Amino acid sequence: MDTLSCDTTLLSLMRNNGAYDYNRELVTPQVSLWDWVMQKLEEFLGRIFGEVTGHHLTLPLVIMAGLALLGLILWFLYKYRPELFFKNKKNRFAEEEEGETIYGIDFEAEIKRAVSRGDYPGAVRWVYLQTLRYLSDTHQIDWQLYKTPTQYVYECRESAFRELTNHFLRVRYGHFEADASLFNEMNRLQETLKQKIVVPSVTTEEGGEA
């Protein structure tokens, strides 16, 4: 009987020829979601601006859209969950509002209230603000809302005030532990400062001193 013979050389040539690769029609290409989105976006832009221009615009537009989306998400978080951006925001602002002015405050009452509840950091703060009020009333400093404690040190160069300011800064901003001994030291420095400052006397129209 006659048998069929296979031309292996011809078969090898056909396998290596892409025109005869019929299996590729049946295999789904491995395309990621990102590649698919980029391809569709590029096709959309190509229809509007042309193939070449659309290809060059694809990546910059994707970056801009991503940044816009990120900004929108951050805006919503800031609007509805501000505590994610500021630690204990409400209490922080309340403390800043308390220290906005040195006028109209009963310092003695505030100091006693802080000490009675064991809030020595608060007591130290009130003693410092009370000292600023005294220095302002005796014209040793020019108190302004925007000024920092360091600026007042340059205006009043008494060593007691410099040391008192350093204690306040360490407690207020350096998270230094305040206790009864530090509170007593603040009071001692305040009294020392008052003894060194000579309050100018007020001369009346008759030439006498008030």
Higher pLDDT, 113 or 63: 113
Q: How far apart are CA 170 and CA 168, in angstroms?
A: 6
Predicted pLDDT at 98:
45
Higher pLDDT, 55 or 127: 127
Q: How far apart are CA 53 and CA 59, in angstroms?
A: 11
CA 1 to each of CA 4, 5: distance values in angstroms, whole numbers, following the listed order: 10, 13
The model carries a pTM of 0.51
Alpha helices in 50-144 (DSSP H): 51-80, 89-98, 107-116, 120-137
Q: Is residue 95 over pLDDT 50?
A: no
Average pLDDT over residues 120-126: 94
Q: Is residue 183 over pLDDT 80?
A: yes
Higher pLDDT, 94 or 46: 46
CA 126 to each of CA 10, 39, 101: distance values in angstroms, whole numbers, following the listed order: 99, 66, 12
Q: Is residue 47 over pLDDT 50?
A: yes
Higher pLDDT, 205 or 33: 33
User: Do residues 168 and 149 make contact, with C-beta atoms less than 8 angstroms apart?
Assistant: yes
Predicted pLDDT at 109:
94
User: Do residues 185 and 167 make contact, with C-beta atoms less than 8 angstroms apart?
Assistant: yes
What are 186-196's pLDDT values in tens digits? Answer: 999 999 999 98
Predicted pLDDT at 199:
62
Percent of the chain with pLDDT over 70: 57
Residues sharing a CB contact under 8 Å with residue 53, sequence separation 6 or more, in sequence order: 45, 46
Average pLDDT over residues 144-168: 92
Q: How far apart are CA 140 and CA 193, in angstroms?
A: 11
Q: Is residue 166 over pLDDT 80?
A: yes
